[in-house]
Amino acid sequence: MKERLSHADRESRSAHLAEAKANYERLDRSIANYPDLSQIPTASAAYRARCSEELGQLHARRAVALKELERRAGHPVTVEQASHIPVESGPVHTTSGGRESEAEPAGREDEREDEYMPSAAPQSSLFLLRFLPTTRENREGIIGDLLEEFEDVSRDHGVGKARFWFGWMTFASFASLLWSRVPGLVSFLRRWVLR
């Protein structure tokens, strides 16, 4: 009985350590993948301030995650060592209600949603979209909507198809916005000619 308890303790400790390590690595990855604002010339001052605030929060959360990792490992851990802490290999199993289930490896599901991954949307199309003949608000809405949907399309159909879709949508948006200006242009020309 004693032997089984100690074995369970060891398993539980290993699971907790793996969880803390995965959480630290997730935050570290988020910081590494954070958008480089020098690559986004359209970024507004408000967006830059927001990014700076978010990045600060990520750094603070990573520091807390490192402390937690140290506590669970039972010894001081440096930033360089954090990713190399040995955790017993293989999936960690926990027992609940007599049924074995795989332990959640990287924190809660809702925590993972804020992980930033750089977009693979074609930069040439993004550049062209900056010149859409419409209001600034509409332009922001169109670019944002396309970027969001690009992620869904690339998840469902692959990045190649998604990039083609993005380019086509850029072209179609230009065409429809220019076409919508034709009646106004015609009436302006008519007024100008008849003057």
Partner 1 sequence: MKKEQKQSAIGLELPVLQAAMTLGKDADGGSIRKAVDAALLRSISPGAIYTVLDRLETKGWITSAMGEPTVKRQGNRRKYFEVTGSGVDALLHARRTMQALGWLGVGEAAP
Which residues are near partner 1 by CB under 8 A? 35, 40, 42-44, 46-47, 50-51, 54, 116, 119, 132, 134-135, 137-138, 140-149, 151, 169, 172-177, 180
Element (H, E) at 109: helix 109-112
In the bound state with partner 1, the residue whose beta carbon lies nearer, of 9 and 148, is 148
* CB of 104 vs partner 1, minimal distance in Å: 23
In the bound state with partner 1, the residue whose beta carbon lies nearer, of 144 and 158, is 144
* CB of 51 vs partner 1, minimal distance in Å: 7
42 token code pair: 């359209």
* CB of 46 vs partner 1, minimal distance in Å: 6
Q: Which of 51, 33, 23 is nearest to 116 (CA)?
A: 33
In the bound state with partner 1, the residue whose beta carbon lies nearer, of 18 and 27, is 27
Q: Is the dihedral of CA 106, 109, 115, 117 positive or negative?
A: positive
In the bound state with partner 1, the residue whose beta carbon lies nearer, of 101 and 134, is 134
CA pair distance 44, 8, nearest whole angstrom:
53
User: Helices 159-180 and 182-194, interaxial angle, to 10°?
Assistant: 30
The answer to whether 126 and 143 are in contact (CB under 8 A) is yes
In the bound state with partner 1, the residue whose beta carbon lies nearer, of 95 and 123, is 123
Q: How many CB atoms lie within 10 A of CB 92?
A: 19
What is the SS3 assignment for 150?
helix
CA pair distance 83, 77, nearest whole angstrom:
10
